[in-house]
Structure 1
Amino acid sequence: MKKVVLISCSKEKDPAKHIAEDLYISPLYKKELAYAKHVLKPDMIFILSDKYHLLELPAEVAWYEVDLKEQTRDEQKAWAQKVLASLKEKTDIEKDEFIILAGETHFRYLKPALKNCSTPLHKIGGIGNQLHWLKEELAKRGIKA
């Protein structure tokens, strides 16, 4: 069984960057990534991209402006199906442990298909609370993000 972390993309992007891991620059994304890498220490980390669906950290991508929240429920379901299809190629969605560090828009249609899945940030509250919690968790371990 592998531990797989899925983190959300962000609206804030660096237009000069073309590697997925470096493209997103929001404080929440940076803290989610640091938490995934240094605290959760998973076997795999993927970015849930509103445009590219499932991204590996070293993937080369072009800057984009797509917002999953602005899409219809049917479009969000279709997006989730593409993410799940990619996950099925790279993971065992029946056995692997999935930790989703993303908002409900990103996990709503994914979570039911992943047998062993948690969304720890969801129970913390809004973005401000999540940022505060992640900052504290990282600081406890001497990690700056």
Structure 2
Amino acid sequence: MLYISTMTKRRIALVACVKEKQSRSVKAKDMYVSKVFKSWMNYAESWGANQIYILSGKYGLLELDEKINPYDFNLNFVKPQERKLWAQQVIQNLGDKARLNEDEFLVLANPTYSEYLIPHIKHYSMPLDIK
């Protein structure tokens, strides 16, 4: 019997958080107020993402409608070993929501947020030169 997979690749966008935030508890998609973040979200939507997640230095992998509190935390100031632990948690959570070896990922994040995630994702693109 020939088995043909009917599973299609989903398009999943990972968008990094930014420094400029609301000063009150809101949904994750509304927390980050910078023009850069909004442009990344628009890019992810125009790319045709089936799902968009936010990469938060404090909270890890966030759903857009997840309510969070404001915070001041940036992975750029964290030691590599701590970033590896952060990335392991993000990958574990992402693996519960996506197929890391099958789905297509769009990564809109600087290397600090993406360097330890990328080795665990088979199909990805990083179209922006984010430093």
State the TM-score, normalizing by the size of structure 2.
0.90
TM-fit CA distance, 1:27: 1.2
Cα deviation digits, residues 33-91 of structure 1 (max 9, x gap): 01111x11211000000001000100000111111000000011001001100100000
The equivalent residue for 1:101 is 108
Q: Distance between the aligned counterparts of 2:99 and 2:25, measured in 1?
A: 31
> What is the RMSD of the two structures over their aligned residues, measured on CA atoms?
1.1
1:24 alignment counterpart: 32
Q: Which has the higher helix share?
A: 1
Give CA deviations for 1:106-143 in whole Å, capped at 9, x if unaligned: 11000111011111113xx65xxxxxxxxxxxxxxxxx
Percent identical across equivalent pairs? 37
| 2:94 maps to 1:87 | yes
Match of 2:76 in 1: 69
1:26 deviates by 1.3
Aligned residue type for 1:23 = M
For residue 17 of structure 1, report the CA deviation from its aligned partner: 4.4
Q: How many residues end up aligned between the 2 structures?
A: 123
- Which stretches of structure 1, 4 residues or more, deviate above 6 A after TM superposition? none
2:14 alignment partner, SS class: strand
- Which has the higher Rg, Structure 1 or Structure 2? 2
What does residue range 1-145 of structure 1 map to in structure 2 within 5 Å?
1-37=9-45, 39-122=46-129, 126=131
- Partners of 1:72 and 1:56 lie apart in 2 by 26
2:103 and 2:123 in contact (8 A); partners too: yes
TM-score, reference length from structure 1:
0.82
Question: Relative to total residues, which structure has the larger strand share, 1 or 2?
Answer: 2
